[in-house]
Structure formats: structure tokens, C-alpha cells
Structure 1
Amino acid sequence: MRHALALACLILGAAAHSQEFQLGVHYSELPIPVETSAPEGAVEVVEVFSYACIHCYNFEPLVRAWEERQPEDVAFRRVPAVFNPVWELLGQAYYTARALDVLDTVHMPIFEAIHVHRMDIRDTELLGRIFGRYADTPEEEFSRVFGSFGVVSSTRQARAQGQAYRISGVPTLVVAGKYRIEVDKAGSLERMLEVVDFLVEQERAAATTAD
């Protein structure tokens, strides 16, 4: 009985949004689903972003607040967009921060360096200074990790993922490797996250029905 009630709530919740968020209007379906890295039973949500993007900078507080509210069955991760050499450089900075376990320390300072302090980051020197100032990362260690096989490979994989998601702009959100949400379709940055919640709920309902 309890299982039936839970299923009914999920279905009703999805139905409540069904007229509000429509496929082809508020979000798109990928022609070829992309394999996710989420644990079994979890719904993956990917944000494709770039430190160079002002909209991604403005989106960051909203995404962080949204992420903090998510239960364990939502697996959130970021993928840097790699559209050109400068964005590739910034993508490597993201994976360098992850490899050094200082992402929480340098993530916003990189955004702020570009969009608040108007720094034109086109080489590793300025990035190294940011890592040194905010994470006490020695210049030699930053350079070594930045150019490491793991970081370079992750950045190449990010480029391939962006192509698989058919990304044309950022920020873009991808749910369950199947649905792409862009601000022009959703209507606003806030609305993008509402569409994500709807699609996550839809995936939960589908999984429960399959069980």
C-alpha cells in the first residue's frame, strides 16, 4: 500500500508539471543518449559550464543552493565546455583543481578573476597565481599537475562529452544523459533548475514503474 501511494505521488507530481514543461519547448531530447557515470539508482545531472561565461558565473549561486537540497539519488557533476583554446585552458584549470583537491577553494576565485577583476586569462601564469594565492599551491606543483596526463585526458574527454551532448552554449544542463536544458528554452536561469527537477522526478517515476 505504501509503495502504491509513493508511486501515485510521483506520477501526480510529474503530471502537475507536464503542461508546464514540454519536450521541444522547454527542453530537448538528445538523439542518442549518452552513458552516465551515476551510481545505480541515481539520476545524473550534468552542468556544462565555462569560467569564461558570465551567465555561468551568475548561475553558480543558484546551482550551489540547488545542489545542497538534492537527495542521495541525484548525482550532480560539472563538465567544462571546450569550445576554443582559452576555454580549454580553463577546463584544464578545473580538472587541475579537482586533482589537487582544492576545487572548493579556487572555483569561485577563478570566476571572480575573470568577471569581477576583469583579468584576461590566456596563459597558465595567471591561473598559477590564483592557485598560489587561494590554495597555497606551489607554482611547480601547479604546472606539473596542469600538464599531467590525467588532467589533459579529462579535458579531452570533456570536449568529447560536450560534442555528445550537442552543446552550443553554456550553461547547459543534461539530465540522465538524455535531456538537454538551455536557458533560451527554459526562459531563465532559475527556470532551468525547475525543468531539471521536473525531469529528475520523471526519471524517478519511470524507474519506480519499471520496478
Structure 2
Amino acid sequence: MFKTARYRITALLCGLLLTTACSAAGPDAASAPFTDGNQYVTLPAPYQRDNSSGKVEVVEVFSYACIHCAEFSTYADELRKSLPKGVEFKLVPAPFNDAWVPFARAYYASKKLGLLEQTHDELFKAKFKEQYPINSMDEIADFYAQHGANREQFLKIANSPEVDAQIKKDLALIQTWGVDGTPTIVVDGKYRSANIKSFPELVDLTKFLVQQELSAKQK
């Protein structure tokens, strides 16, 4: 059975506040390979994340602290490359608890510094395959310094008020989507993956939901 990493998130928002202070109709149900309410759910209040491109948005909610996300990363890379025109793949780091927040900060700092593409899979590899001690903000900064970042600049961005605000915004969005585990896929703010048994099934589900959304937009 495929399982996502699941954590309680109710207490984190208060901690972040303190930090800041210091239906699209689908195919016929009988022929559809996936079932609403089982492998995926249709969200009651569709909401996209700052999507001004007009493209169908595929979001992976993930964390560098999640071993399942590390295992899914190669599947996610292939999924991103296989998506048709009119579809874009995005990442949202999940700040589910205090231990995961530094990794969310790292995501935004690496993105700001232009290092995301070259370090995304490498961080998973270093943490879970090579088993380097990468947990604290200092250890994370050491990793990025080894991959071209100015360590002081990286930490300044990672701990900035802008990143604090973005993490709070991400947490609110994740709660709105009902995400409680990683990796989770959300398509166009309308559909969220649910009871998935394998990574290939998650990829196939995503492609199914993307096609469903593209078809709906063409009507």
C-alpha cells in the first residue's frame, strides 16, 4: 500500500505568526479509470495558486523532509516533462510542522537564487540516499553552499519576512485543499489525489485529471 507522509498542522500557523512578529464534467463514470471520492476528490471550493497564465496547473505538495517525496521525485520529473501544452507543473512545499519549515524556507531561497533546478533532486539524494545530516537550517545552508549559493545570502533570504509570508500563505492554501500528506497532487485547484496505491498510479491519475480539465476548458 502506498502511503503519504502525514502530519498534524494545526499548531504551525501560530508559530509562524510569532516568527513574523520577531464541475468540469469528466468521462462517463463507468469508463473512467479513477473514481471521484476514491483515488481523487473534487474540491468543494476550487482555488488556484496565483495562476495568471491561464494554463491548467498541476501542483505537487511536497517536502524535502519527506522520504516518499524523495522516492516520487523521479516520477515527478518524468510527469512534468510529459505534460501537454497548456499545462504547467508547480511545487508547493508543505510546512506541516516545525521540522519541515526549514525545508520550505530552503525551497524559496533556492528558487530566488536560481538554484532550484540544479538542487531539487540533489537535496533528496543527499538526505535520503547518501544520508547526510541535513535537518537544521544551518545544515541545509551548508548543502546549498556546496552547490553554489552564498551561505549568508541564502540564510538571509530563507529567514526573510517575504518567505515567512509565503509559508503562511502556503499553509492556508494546503488546508483549503484538504492536503494532509505528501506527495499530494492538486490539479487546477479543483481535484486532489486521495487513495493512491503506487507512484505510477499517481502519475496516471494526474494525467487523467489533466485531460479531464483540458477537455472541460475546450467546451
Closer/same/farther in 2, CA of residues 120 and 164 from structure 1, 3 Å limit: farther
Q: Which amino acid aligns with 1:28?
A: V
Q: For residue 187 of structure 2, what is the amino acid of its counterpart? A: V
Q: Are the counterparts in 2 of residues 128 and 143 from structure 1 also a CA contact under 8 Å? A: yes
C-alpha deviation, 1:39, in angstroms = 4.1
Q: Which amino acid aligns with 1:54?
A: I
The match for 2:104 is: 91
* Structure showing greater relative contact order (alpha-carbon pairs closer than 8 Å, 6 or more residues apart): 2
The structure number with the bigger radius of gyration is 1
Out of 83, 86, 103, the residue aligned to residue 70 of structure 1 is 83
User: Cα gap change, 1:130/1:17 in structure 2, threshold over 3 Å: closer, same or farther?
Assistant: farther
**Corresponding residue of 2:32:** 19
Q: Does the Cα contact within 8 Å between 1:14 and 1:198 map onto a contact in 2? A: no
TM-score (normalizing by structure 1):
0.84
Aligned match for 2:158, one of 133, 137, 146? 146
Matching of residue 207 in structure 1 with residue 217 in structure 2: yes
Among all aligned residue pairs of Structure 1 and Structure 2, give the percentage whose two residues are the same amino acid: 33
What's the CA shift for 1:109?
A: 2.4
Which residue is equivalent to 1:167?
Answer: 179
Indicate whether 1:188 and 2:198 are aligned.
Answer: yes
* Gap runs ≥5 in structure 1: 1-10
User: How many angstroms does 1:26 deviate by?
Assistant: 1.5
The C-alpha deviation readout for 1:78-126, integer Å capped at 9, x for no partner, is: 0011110111111000011001110012212221232123344332111
Structure 2 counterpart of 1:208, one-letter code: Q
**What is the total number of aligned residue pairs between the two structures?**
195
Residue ranges of structure 2 left out of the alignment (5+ in a row): 1-24
Calculate the aligned-residue CA RMSD, in Å.
2.1
- SS in structure 2 opposite 1:86? coil
